[in-house]
Amino acid sequence: MKKTITVLAMAACLGLTGVAQAGPTVIDFESLADLEIVDDQFLGLGADFNATASILRAGTSLNEASFPPNSGSNVIYDDPALGTGIIRVDAVGALWAMAGGYVTGNTNITLTAYASDSSVLGTASTSGANYIGAGTGLLPNIFLSVTAPGIAYVQFSDNGNSYVVDDFTLQPIPAPGAILLGGIGIGCVSWLRRRRTL
């Protein structure tokens, strides 16, 4: 009986430690059709693309010889018909601790992360063109990311030319209750280990 209670307690503790350790979410765009405007299709994954990008598919509308996808066959691009060449992605449900994506472009591409008050939390940049054949020595699909507490939205931008983004990645900030439960779970596992050594 005592052994059964210890096993159940250990399972409960391990479950609590997993609450605060959710991995990043990767949006690969493979579920969308060629030339589809990317807007609110990924709200359930914590991201709103605000109709600032469209899909390009390898073998149809994408020049994959110069702009290869990082994975699959779909990427998003800064469709000039949608605005300024800025791809904006907003956090939905919870702010992010990290956000980024794999970028390939004709010029320098910058990722800027913003807080809820639109103050800049951080930036990352490719430092030049990185399409295949660009002559800069930069490889395609450079992963640009910013890690900062409380990212409300990010923007990809360049010098008004053309770029693609694949495998947009976000890491939500765990809810305060999840952090507390995770801490309790870690403490519980430590207590059980000490108890087993006695």
Q: Each residue of 111-136: pLDDT tens digit?
A: 999 999 999 999 999 999 999 999 99
Q: What is the pTM of this model?
A: 0.80
How many alpha carbons lie under 13 Å from residue 99 in its C-beta half-sphere?
33
Are 62 and 136 in contact by the 8 Å Cβ rule? The answer is: no
* pLDDT for the residue numbered 5: 46
Provide the 8-state DSSP code for 129.
-
Domain boundaries, the chain: 1-22+175-198, 23-173
Distance from CA of residue 145 to its chain's centroid?
Answer: 8
| Superfamily of domain 23-173, CATH level 4 | Protein of unknown function DUF4465 (2.60.120.1350)
